[in-house]
Amino acid sequence: MTVAGLGMLALTRAVYASITKIDFAGKVVLITGGSRGLGLEMARILASRGAKLAICARSPHQLGKAEQEIAAMGAEIIAFRADLTDAQQADNLVASVVEHYGKLDILINNAGIMLVAPENLLEISDYQQVMDANLWSALYTMKAAIPHFRSQGEGRIVNICSIGGKIAVPHMLPYSVSKFAMTGLSEGMAAELEKDNIHVTTVIPNLMRTGSPRNITVKGQHQQEYAWFKTAGSLPVLSQDSSRAARAIVQAVASGASEVVLTPIGRMATAFQGVAPQAVTAIARLVNRFLPESSNAAERRGYQSESKASKGMFTAETDEQAEKNNEL
């Protein structure tokens, strides 16, 4: 009975994937946070598959460089400077994309920020800022896009969440809180919007070798905090190749998958959290004992916190990816 049930589940998934599978040629895709890192990696792949792209970011310099690169591939692209923590700017962004291309087929919510610091240095305003950037911005763009999807009879939403939205990570509390909320929002949207032929994909990546650590915010013992985070995000066992991750995400979107956990480690970790949550908490407590304590509440960016500890053979690829993925 169990074998038969698993076989039926696999068959149902295969049939669903074949029904919902799409070709990206001519599709209009909006990628928030599309000027660098994973957003730029996805833009490259979608451009190579014939998609018409719209990207947005807050940095005009990085935005301009990304637009030029994608345009040089022969793809149609338009770039917008926008702060999506402002609901009106999110509305204006979606309206501008629809006005320019005449439609919007796929929204990829990739924009976000990260703060690394011990709990004693975190203010309520820190949580609010990260929630604004990681959760509310995604909700604002979804609420702006959904009416267009409904009017045209279909649409796809992709929410880039995190393993930190399944398992809380020490010294990353605001980020984990925002990603837990975003994961719940994405899963709920997937259930509610399917009736309108709007497919929602929840993406659960691990740390990723995009070069993004240099743009995080750090509090506490800046060099030590940055060193552990950058090193963890550089080790193959803990992190994943950004190009491979981008390809997996694009494939999941093409097939209409409702959720994709991008790595075997991620799948094992989420499964372990489900069956042995106390053990996962015990591991997190142990890890926290080795992380640096501090009373220094000053903020620095990652690139301002480099030291000998964050440079070397283990982090060399992250530095290379920073240049490749427009993180400088």
Q: What is the mean pLDDT of each run of 10 residues along the chain (328 residues)?
A: 52 50 95 98 98 97 97 98 98 98 98 98 98 98 98 98 97 98 98 98 96 97 98 93 97 97 94 95 97 97 97 95 96
* Cα(30)–Cα(41) distance, integer angstroms: 14
Number of Cβ within 10 Å of residue 327's Cβ equals 22
pLDDT at residue 21, rounded to an integer: 78
E strands, the chain, are 28-32, 52-57, 77-81, 106-109, 115-116, 155-160, 198-204, 207-209, 217-219, 239-241, 259-261, 299-301
Active site residue 175: yes
pLDDT at residue 20, rounded to an integer: 56
The answer to whether residue 313 sits within a structural domain is yes
Considering the entire predicted model, what is its pTM?
0.93
Range of the domain at 261: 21-324
Give the total number of structural domains in the chain: 1
The answer to whether residue 255 sits within a structural domain is yes
The answer to whether residue 154 sits within a structural domain is yes
DSSP state of 155: E
pLDDT at residue 136, rounded to an integer: 98
CATH no. for residue 51? 3.40.50.720
Q: Which alpha helices (DSSP H) does 49-203 contain, by range?
A: 60-72, 87-101, 124-131, 137-152, 173-193
The answer to whether residue 108 sits within a structural domain is yes
The answer to whether residue 305 sits within a structural domain is yes
The answer to whether residue 49 sits within a structural domain is yes
Catalytic option among 101, 140, 175, 226: 175
pLDDT at residue 10, rounded to an integer: 47
Residue 33 structure tokens: 């946070």
pLDDT at residue 130, rounded to an integer: 98
The answer to whether residue 216 sits within a structural domain is yes
The answer to whether residue 5 sits within a structural domain is no
pLDDT at residue 286, rounded to an integer: 97
DSSP string covering 297-320: --EEEGGGG--GGG-STTTHHHHH
